[in-house]
């Protein structure tokens, strides 16, 4: 599969996936552009960031969506989680619906986006992690860089994963 298509990718757990997927149904990932995945990704981001975390809507939606590669996880056709990879190798907007947290779905999306970034030639992949999620990103090979800072009233820290 090329990194820009939007065909399903059968998700597999990897050595970096610390949480098991506890469902009898298969999880699939679909990667594509914003036009192809907006209808599935936007409700997840709205639910997690705007409703749950109360991020102002005008700060959640930006022009970067149009140029990013998006990834959405599905189970039985229902969207569960989403994330995006920017052209410069930054990952962002990783969101998992409440019921699916802790099952490894976010890790599947993260690992897929990291793999695509490395396929594209990036030697490093960066993200801005909410501090409460820092252990999750560390479990996936990311290291904290710099001090904690405030973004939309939520403590964040930049993190980086280097290709080995």
Q: Which fold has domain 8-122?
A: Aminopeptidase (3.40.630)
5-59 tens-digit pLDDT:
433 333 333 334 334 455 556 899 999 999 999 999 999 999 999 999 999 998 8
78, with CB counted inside 10 A (0-12, 13-18, 19+), is exposed
Domain borders along the chain are: 8-122
Residue appearing with tokens 């409440």: 98
**pLDDT tens-digit map of 60-109:** 999 999 999 999 999 999 999 999 999 999 999 999 999 999 999 999 99
Q: What are phi and psi of 24, to 5 degrees?
A: -80, -15
Answer whether 128's CB lies under 8 Å from 7's CB: no
pTM: 0.84
Dist. CA 47–CA 26, nearest whole Å = 23
């Amino acid at each position: 599969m090329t990194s820009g298509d939007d065909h399903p990718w059968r998700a597999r757990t990897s050595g970096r996936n610390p949480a098991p997927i506890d469902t009898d149904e298969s999880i699939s990932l679909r990667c594509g552009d914003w036009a192809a995945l907006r209808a599935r990704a936007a409700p997840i981001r709205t639910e997690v960031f705007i409703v749950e975390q109360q991020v102002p809507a005008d700060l959640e939606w930006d022009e970067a969506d149009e140029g990013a590669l998006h990834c959405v996880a599905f189970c039985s056709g229902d969207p569960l989680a989403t994330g995006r990879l920017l052209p410069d190798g930054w990952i962002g907007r990783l969101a998992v619906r409440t019921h699916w947290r802790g099952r490894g779905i976010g890790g599947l999306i993260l690992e897929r986006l990291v793999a695509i970034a490395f396929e594209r030639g990036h030697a490093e992949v960066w993200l801005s992690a909410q501090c409460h999620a820092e252990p999750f990103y560390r479990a996936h090979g990311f290291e904290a860089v710099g001090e904690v800072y405030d973004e939309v009233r939520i403590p964040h820290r930049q993190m980086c994963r280097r290709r080995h």
